[in-house]
Amino acid sequence: MPQHNSSSRHLGMGNVTEWNEFEFGITGKTNQAYFQLSVYDEGTIRVQASKNDHFEFNPYAVVQSPKAVPFSIKSDSNQITLTTSLLRVEILLSGFLIRFFTREGEFINEDDSLGISWIGTEVSCYKRVRPAEKFIGLGEKTGNLNRAGNAFTNWNTDYFAYGVGDDPLYMSIPFYIGIHEKANYGIFFDNTHKSVFNFGASTNRFIYFSAEDGDMNYFFIYRPSVSEIISGYTELTGRMEMPPIWSLGFQQCRYSYYPDSEVKTLANTFRDKDMPADVIYLDIHHMEEYKVFTFDGKSFPDPKGLITELKKKGFKVVVIMDPGIKIEKGYFPYDEGIQQGLFVNYPDGEEYQAQVWPGWCAFPDFTNEQTRAWWAEKMAFYTEAGVDGFWTDMNEPASWGQFTPNLIEFSFEGETVSHRKARNIYGMQMARSAQEGSKLNRKNQRPFILTRSGYAGIQRYAAAWTGDNVASEEHMLAGVRLVNSLGISGVSFAGYDVGGFAGEASKSLFARWMSLGVFAPLFRAHSMINSNDAEPWAFGEEVEEISRNYMKLRYALLPTIYSKFYQSTQDGLPLSKSLAISFPHDPNVFQTAYQNHYLFCDHFLVAPVESTRDIAKVYLPKGSWYYLYSDKFYLGNQEIYLETPLNYLPVLVEESAIFTTQSPISHSGEAPDGVLSIHLYKGEKENQFIHYEDDGESYEYLNNGFFKRIIHYSPAEMTLILQESTGEFESKYEQVNLYLHGFQTDVITINGKSKPTRTTNYAFLNKLSEFDPLPEHEQPYYEIESLVYASFKHLRSKTIISGLF
């Protein structure tokens, strides 16, 4: 029988037939395809392969250009070897198979013998697996922390009330980190088509990643540690800007708060009940017939007056924006979109229409620069009313029927592509347009954009939330894993709907979820229409008081949280950090019982637990740990049992930790009492904390308008040093209270002068009231007894505290 080339069969690269060096690496041909390897930096190599003589370009994810770093190329009859200061990359001439080693020769990763290949337009890369190799990341993906044995699809999907194991969801970030006994590495597959990552589902031969069309285009990232790999990935795809400080406070949302009187009552209740909060959302019922860039004249007759009144109480207002533009002549956004050719069309030029909340809609083509600029200008409608932030929803894009035709066309910055290539980046480009609109219309004010959909690099434009979750114990824990996975994948600013969007939270579930939300980057409660009230006071007095305690703790921790957000803008590392980042070779952190554990702001070990459990089994990694609420001391590398009453979420603090707190405030714009509390935990490891302040809202921090100092702890020298501050911003704190956890110091020395310490009983959470007639549960109360502390002035100059033992 004659052999025929069939597009339904596997087609490999074939052998290398020619190759050449160029400024950043090598380029060449095989029997079947073209290839290029580019050195982006010492530890990042871009691998491209295409059946065409040119490579596709994705203008959206990568912001880094190749750096001019030294590398060498050698070759013999079997292979080409490319070497940098961190990597040795071997390209076998037979089959174009790639192997990655450290410069010292330690194995990292290699292709399976099937290598890079095609089945029709589908392009894949097959990789060999090391024994017990683990895989983490991939952004907003359900399932276990370790992805091994499972497969995942990247195709942005509107998925109401998704299951805790369902896939795909709203966001696609095709980046994962491999961990084995020899090394760690990252792979970012920058292809916006629907893609699959198979980490050993239905096969024991290899793992692979593939896309239904487009080029093989992946970045191989090697660094010595998982943290450095994440930093390398975010250097490649960008890092978030400094957010406004109000976006780090508590945010209250509901589908929907209306009319305006209900919004006013909501705001007043927060203040009357002494429950700190910063943000109120207006969901789709603020609009006239759900049309974007409108207010409903009946429910919101004076939106500017309403927002002005809310601002006087310290609230910011965030409005929802959906992409669908109602097809209605005389509705200016629709008329303008038609006149200017800004909507997504069919290939014959006819406008694409689908049904969403307003009815039949057209959809702006956010991959068109002209459309993004137009949308940004239209947002003046909101900013003129005083709106502070923008929530981009339904931007997968979603429509009734959930089956968008693939032939519709998008500009893609002038390339013109189908829905197959554009869908996964549509939501990201809407978020980009919202950010640009906020910057355009709110001069020198930092934007807050919250998005449901996105792609790799979304962290440059928006915070993310995990969509339409469910009020259940398992969803609460799944949300933790989703946020932690987003953090591994470059999205530091993320959260979940506290209390659950769909369904009804029990009293205990809501209380536990509120306590957990304090230790998430985004702290937002949200609930669905036609459900019971779900504000923090809607579940009875006990839950109200537990919620208040934890909300106050969130605001006490704002100096730490804000400083860590600043740090993330510099290194791309998450605030909610899976234990797999810091302890990748500790098998316990991948166990089902412990995979939800994470470090918040580097040193708070949070052990999420269902509200129905009275005792939790907690794993403590290496080191030493203190129970947050009592300072009880534990050695690491062990499993412990903690009681988990509803008013105490299991949280421990790592040895040598440094963090800061402030006095109670009702919102982030309210001035604290001028005392910065520095908490230092005795330990054997050196540590440092970067304390950072600025005005919390403008871009003056880019012009030296900040206050920053390094606080360094040396156990060997028994010192804590507050380095001289940098920046021109005046700190809002005039005094320091230094709390010495685990120390027995009677006298310390401050800049050479002796100062006796004092002691106090200290509580991070207030005691619950004794409710009448009886509380639903007997709740304990913890405080740190006889905590050593000292007070001194908060100066710009260097301050040395010694004698810490």
Q: Which residues pair with 470 in a beta bridge?
A: 502
CB atoms within 10 A of CB 598: 28
Residue 380: its H or E element: helix 380-383
Burial 208-231 (b: 16+ CB within 10 A, else e): bbbbbbbbbbbbbbbbeebbbbbb
DSSP single-letter state for residue 588: G
Selected catalytic residue, list 56, 215, 396, 542: 396
Half-sphere exposure of 704 (CA within 13 A, CB side): 4
Q: Judge whether 388 counts as a catalytic residue.
A: no
Distance of alpha carbon 283 from alpha carbon 257, whole angstroms: 7
Distance of alpha carbon 302 from alpha carbon 643, whole angstroms: 51
Residue 41: its H or E element: strand 34-41
Which residues lie below 8 Å from residue 732, measured CB to CB, with a gap of 6+? Answer: 671, 672, 674, 693
CA torsion angle for 291, 293, 296, 300 (degrees, to 10)?
150
Distance of alpha carbon 780 from alpha carbon 64, whole angstroms: 52
Q: Based on C-alpha coordinates, what's the Rg of the chain? A: 27
Q: Which residue type, as a one-letter code, is found at position 77?
A: S
DSSP 208-251: EEEESSS-EEEEEEE-SSHHHHHHHHHHHH--PPPPPGGGGS-E
Half-sphere exposure of 258 (CA within 13 A, CB side): 20
Is 245 in contact with 316 (CB distance < 8 Å)? Answer: no
Task: Scan for tokens 């779900």, then name that residue.
Answer: 534
Between strands 87-92 and 97-102, the pairing is: antiparallel
Half-sphere exposure of 193 (CA within 13 A, CB side): 20
3-class DSSP string for 712-731: EEECCCCEEEECCCECCCCC
Q: Which residue type, as a one-letter code, is found at position 41?
A: D
Distance of alpha carbon 418 from alpha carbon 713, whole angstroms: 56
Three-state SS at 268 = helix
Q: Judge whether 283 counts as a catalytic residue.
A: no
Selected catalytic residue, list 468, 497, 602, 631: 468
Q: Which residue type, as a one-letter code, is found at position 730?
A: E
Q: Judge whether 393 counts as a catalytic residue.
A: yes
Give burial (CB, 10 Å; 0-12/13-18/19+) of 609: buried
Where are any strands of DSSP class E within 314-473?
316-321, 325-326, 354-356, 359-362, 389-392, 409-410, 417-418, 449-451, 454-455, 463-465
Sheet with strand 747-750: strands edge to edge = 687-694, 706-714, 719-722, 799-802, 747-750, 753-756
Q: Which residues pair with 762 in a beta bridge?
A: 784
DSSP 468-498: S-BSSHHHHHHHHHHHHHHHHTT--SEE-EE
CA distances in angstroms from 198 to 181, 437, 479, listed in the order given: 21, 39, 22
Distance of alpha carbon 416 from alpha carbon 134, whole angstroms: 39
Q: Dmax over Cα atoms in the chain, in whole Å?
A: 95
Selected catalytic residue, list 393, 409, 473, 694: 393
CA distances in angstroms from 278 to 389, 593, 676, 701, listed in the order given: 12, 35, 21, 22
DSSP single-letter state for residue 182: S
Three-state SS at 556 = helix
| Residues labelled catalytic | 393, 396, 468
